[in-house]
A and B are shown apart, each in its own frame.
Chain A
Amino acid sequence: MIFETNTIEEVKVWVNAGPTSDFPEDGGSSIFYEGEQIAIFNFSHLNKWFATQNLCPHKKQMILSRGMLGTEGDTPKVACPYHKKTFSLETGENLNGCEDSIKTFPIKIENDTVFVGLYEKK
């Protein structure tokens, strides 16, 4: 849609995704912003936050925010609830090596509020 995978330097808007308490520990939830669904993960076991597209590229469902978090070696990952395809939360790469990668977005926490960095491609 309108957003590209981006790096911090490219961020045009920091979207307020809501208070940190909206996101369960070691779990995720999704937000809606200008037609785009973004999955936000509170990986509390690693003390890190991640944001990715909510769409699972395998079955094209808006579902990744309901996935289970985990690690493979040192890579933090999310497992899609449908068929347990797993994606790196850092790079978006599909770790089973058979799906497209997913988009990832920069994320930051300020005053207990979660912000996702987006880049609007006109």
Chain B
Amino acid sequence: MTKIVIVGNGMVSYKLCEKLVEKNTTASITVIGEEPRPAYDRVHLSAYFEDANADKLSMASRDWYEGNGIDLITSEKVSKINREKKEITTHNNNTFAYDYLVLATGSAAFVPPIKGVDKKGVFVYRTIEDLEMMMAYGKKASSAAVLGGGLLGLEAAKAALDMNLKTSVVEFAPRLMPRQIDEEGGNLLKQKMEDLGIEILLNKATSQITGEGTMTGMEFSDDTKLDVDMLIISAGIRPRDELGKEAGLEVAERGGFVVNSLMQTNDPSIFAVGECASHNNMIYGLVAPGYDMAEVVAEQLVHNTDEYQFDGFDMSTKLKLIGVDVASFGDPFCDNTPHSPISISDTQAGIYKRINVSEDGKTLLGGILIGDAEDYNMLHQMCVNEMALPPHPVDLIAKGSGDSGAAIGVDALPDTAQVCSCENVSKGDVCCAIKDDGVTDINGIKKATKAGTGCGGCLPMVNNILEDTLKKMGATIRKEICEHFPYSRQELFDLIKVNEIKTYKELLNKYGQGSGCETCKPAVASLLASIWNDLILKEATIQDTNDRFLANIQKGGSYSVVPRIAGGEITPDKLIAIGEVAKEFDLYTKITGGQRIDLFGATLNDLPLIWEKLIEAGFESGHAYGKSLRTVKSCVGSTWCRFGLHDSVGFAIEIENRYKGLRSPHKLKGGVSGCIRECAEARGKDFGVIATEKGWNLYVGGNGGANPKHAILLAGDITKEEVVKYIDRFLMFYIKTAEPLQRTAPWLEKLEGGIDYLKQVVVEDSLGIGEQLESDMEVLIANYSCEWKEAINNPKIRKRFAHFSNSDQDDPTQKFKRERDQRFPVAW
């Protein structure tokens, strides 16, 4: 029987075993690894910081090895190779004979020869044991520095931040991730890291690490210093090739066993795979190329074929750093290739995207994405498959600026396109699993093809292919809201309405399972409110926290109070009343962007007292806490403005009062401007009305926020009555069909047929549901009552606004400070 010995039990070693088993090897296999546990997922090592759970990272158990007849030996280091005798010796002096030897020894963190690196408090980031030591040490430390601002360094910085340490990154180069991203991208990334509270020090050469025995700081060649309790070194990797020299195996200049395209070293019976292999003078610090190499070796060992060869690997990467997307693909710089770069950068939103288009404008050569890497997979594939570009390549990265969107969908990908590089799965493989094996969900795809089981970066694209293919097969894609209800929001809407269900409990008992959760409870609460507009306080505990206490929860457990000021019109007396309340309860006061007044810092205990006074002064709840109508902003219009065509204030007040308290899938805002100058910014709202010479224009589907979008014209030059009728229909249609927490802009974007279809439904009443929608709205309007009024007048409800049920006192841990003559919460 052929004897195969594998040295090292890392990710690639495991993958090789798996492939040998899959290919039904008849050889005897022995794996020797120096780490105490069987192979684990090093790529997701940082997850260990969250729960210190090594099992979650495990790639295969001892049982798996045993069950497949593989001899696994751990905690044993191979110290010598005897090529003549074809055997290896371990540090415990055990010897093993081999016919084929595979070196999968990976690499070690590179520790630069800086004075003092041997001091206590200096760590590297490579194994579970490294992390354990770091975590133990970090408990006593208050600050940490990371040496190296590359991919891994930034990941280590996140880990340090998670340990609640003041964190700095020290980088020698003038920018972060110098090998993956360009200067502009680097600047933006730096900004983002700093926003997260990570200090970034660039152009810093570390000259020594100070401290006696235990490190206390770092000194740099520019004579600056950094006081810091611990240091994590992430300055690159060094292949573990120490077995090579003595055994006469050729080792590359920058380290690593030299291999040919069959992964053979200069001894044809010895292979090297993974991070310890140097192919064409290249060492790959990623797992996907290692898996490819494993396939090449497995084919030779089992099928005795040299058909499969390793021919280099594309180093595109995508990662999510502390919630910041960073990706580069193809040739990100194109330093030596003629190309035309196209880039967009929005420093405010923290987005930078660059693509390099070939000189003839036909193909994509590479690019960089920071802040928004949603289209990484698609762009990467366009690049790899040399797919034709759309007429305006800028559309590929400039989403939201027009209707084009990312101009190309997964549909355009050839079947051969590789979607998962870790497991080398093509689009065709995924489609086959769906069409032939009847797979319908992402877990099924993972099982059938292994796609997405490596780094996971391909999952968004795999999911798109899944949905696209299912859709084409005529399957409906169900969007169940959570484990407690096997229904979509739309289905629940219909169930509640048709069966006249009035409470959450009733719905859960009839159609759900379990006891609900923080996803379905508020969603159902919103549905019940949208359908019946009943008092939400009747079922306070299924409301999101803001709705439960009728106020927006803020830092420190305090609340903000926002009285309704319809259209922004307010009398001096009312203004004074607000001022007096704010003064009495020492509330931080601010004018909002939506023409109202925000009062912050109210304790739970004070909320009913505050509202008592506000209601007495004639105010009502502003519903600033609800997924409901917030404001209808107005300009001054014809009453005062010399340009004003009609009374925009009066109309805004009318509309705001009409829809106040209306519950919807997300918050709603409106605006009314007295002329095309648009001082109310009505087109930035879910519905906007603008006066024209002949009447009013009605726009819908706009919003501000993170993804601003202008509203689109629904009907032009119409009367006030028509405006109201169409808003009624539009809002009701939206409320009935949108997903939970979907604002009108994305809802409209996803609506098949878009604005044209909406026009047909709302203006032309093509479905014949216009009157129904209007009368549904009438029911809601008729049921309106001010929630706060009910709350303060009902002693039982009022009692809920207490921090303690057994004491009248406020939460003693709440802390405030004073700034600019007002009260502020102390930061968390």
Contact = CB atoms under 8 A, between A and B. Distances in A.
Interface of A: 17-18, 22-27, 29-33, 37, 40, 43, 45-46, 55, 59-63, 66-73, 76-77, 79, 81-82, 84, 86, 97-98
Contacts of A43: 515
Q: Which 5 A-B pairs have the closest CB atoms?
A: A70-B517, A81-B545, A27-B541, A79-B518, A22-B805
Contacts of A40: 805
Interface in B533-575: 540-542, 544-545, 548-549, 553, 555-557
Nearest to A58: B828
Interface residues of B, number: 38
A30 B483 contact: no
Nearest to A54: B811
Contacts of A23: 805
A86 B518 contact: yes
A68 B553 CA distance: 14
B51 A30 contact: no
A98 B545 CA distance: 22
A71 B806 contact: no
B813 A30 contact: no
Contacts of A31: 804-807
Interface in B55-75: none
B521 A45 contact: no
B556 A71 contact: no
Chain B, interface SS category: loop
Contact of A70 (B518, B553, B557, B802): B518
B221 interface: no
B545 A30 contact: no
Contacts of A32: 804, 806-807, 809
B515 A30 contact: no
Given A26-B541, A62-B814, A68-B542, 18 more contacts: A18-B805, A24-B800, A29-B804, A30-B803, A31-B805, A32-B804, A45-B508, A45-B516, A55-B813, A61-B557, A63-B557, A67-B545, A68-B541, A70-B484, A70-B515, A70-B516, A81-B553, A98-B50
Nearest to A31: B806
A60 B805 contact: no
B217 to A, nearest CB: 29
B450 interface: no
A73 B516 CA distance: 10
Contacts of B553: 63, 66, 81-82
30 contacts: A17-B805, A18-B805, A18-B806, A24-B540, A24-B541, A27-B541, A29-B805, A31-B805, A32-B804, A32-B806, A32-B807, A37-B813, A45-B515, A45-B516, A46-B515, A62-B557, A62-B813, A63-B557, A66-B553, A67-B545, A68-B521, A68-B541, A69-B515, A70-B484, A70-B521, A73-B483, A73-B514, A84-B518, A97-B53, A98-B50
Nearest to B549: A66
B51 A97 contact: yes
B77 to A, nearest CB: 33
A30 B557 CA distance: 13
B806 A37 contact: no
Given A45-B505, A97-B51, A97-B53, A62 B541 contact: no
A11 B344 CA distance: 63
Nearest to B49: A98
Interface of B: 50-51, 53, 483-484, 505, 508, 514-518, 520-522, 540-542, 544-545, 548-549, 553, 555-557, 800, 802-807, 809, 811, 813-814, 828
Contacts of B828: 59-61
A77 B521 CA distance: 13
Contacts of A71: 484, 514-517
A114 B505 CA distance: 24
Contacts of B802: 29
B516 to A, nearest CB: 5
Contacts of B814: 62
Nearest to B51: A97
A23 B541 CA distance: 11
B547 to A, nearest CB: 11
Nearest to A29: B805
A8 B96 CA distance: 56
B626 to A, nearest CB: 15
A84 to B, nearest CB: 5
Contact of A79 (B484, B505, B517): B517
Given A68-B518, A70-B515, A25 B545 contact: no
Contacts of B542: 26, 68
A23 B540 CA distance: 12
Interface centre among A32, A73, A77, A84 (most CB of B within 10 A): A32
A52 B828 CA distance: 22
Contacts of B800: 24, 29
Contacts of A81: 544-545, 553
A59 B741 CA distance: 24
Nearest to A16: B806
A7 B806 CA distance: 24
A32 B518 CA distance: 26
Contacts of B811: 37, 62
A29 B544 CA distance: 15
B426 to A, nearest CB: 33
A23 B828 CA distance: 28
A71 B518 CA distance: 9
Contacts of B51: 97-98
A72 B813 contact: no
Contacts of B805: 17-18, 22-23, 29-31, 40
Given A32-B807, A62-B813, A76 B557 contact: no
